[in-house]
Structure 1
Amino acid sequence: MPKGPRLLGVPRLALVSDVYSASGWSLPPARGPEVERLHLEIFGLSMTTRAASPDHFYWSPSHSTDSLPSFFSKTVWRQNQQLPPPLSGYKSVWFSGATPKHAFMVWLTARNRLPARDRLNYWGLNISPFCLLCNDEDESTGHLYFNCGYTIALWTSIFAPSHIT
């Protein structure tokens, strides 16, 4: 499910008339740069209606008035969102024999979405940035998996019996 409508604070199946009236747009305040950019796009739109149904607004991604589709905030978000290219390795993580919780953790790690202390600080939590396990360096996903002394010892103990280095 796209995250745009949720970030924008608009119900997924909302109509334009739910968030726009003669007095203007009624959107929750922006909570990030992506939403601020979307607000700028939305507030810059000139709104028009058809005389036969003045209470219905129409939106067309091609700016054509020939076919006036229903409005869905999901469609607007996809139209205005600059999505990153698909992450390679999808099939090697999400395959039919994968253990779901392991695949999920690998996926979060690959997407740099683990709530390590560097991300928690970025989100505004006032906590020490140092690694909870070794207290030597700032905690990040890369540090936790590859640079932390505790983690290196753990990986070594796991792979020592199989002679993998």
Structure 2
Amino acid sequence: MNQPTASQLLRSPTMLLAFGFGSGLSPKAPGTFGTLAAIPFWWLMQGLTPAVYLGIVIVAALVGCYLCGAASKKLGVHDHGGIVWDEMVGYWLTMFMAPAGWGWALYGFVLFRLFDIAKPQPIGWVDRRLHGGVGIMLDDIMAAGYAALLLQLTAFWMG
């Protein structure tokens, strides 16, 4: 099984979530579409207390280790491009305690995608060396860390 069909995704909750509710089926830039799919969830979560928000993101990351690993195994491809749960969690982590507003949502989106695509060290090393669900999740979590740091510094400077 290389690229699941939409109907195959709907029959498997694991694949449906791993493929970002179908956003990972995009033939071009599935990671970008997966990140876009994360924005409405962030919009709903941004009013939560920091502890609750971070708790949700941690649970989503832990569940993501299973989801991404299981989907990867089912597809027979490590980190198949359509697996985008890691991008969704990465965006949510980038946006942890971010200022409200669409401008910040867009800024966080661009920062996260830049770091996720460029994979500066040690992200690139992790991406090449760690496999399975943890490896799939960890490089995006690290990219989110870089993006979140830059977003928070920007917010601080803008004051």
> Which bin holds the TM-score, normalised by the shorter protein?
under 0.3
**Which is helix-richer, 1 or 2?**
2
**Which is strand-richer, 1 or 2?**
1
- Structure with higher Rg: it is 1
Greater RCO, 1 or 2 (C-alpha within 8 Å, sep 6+): 2
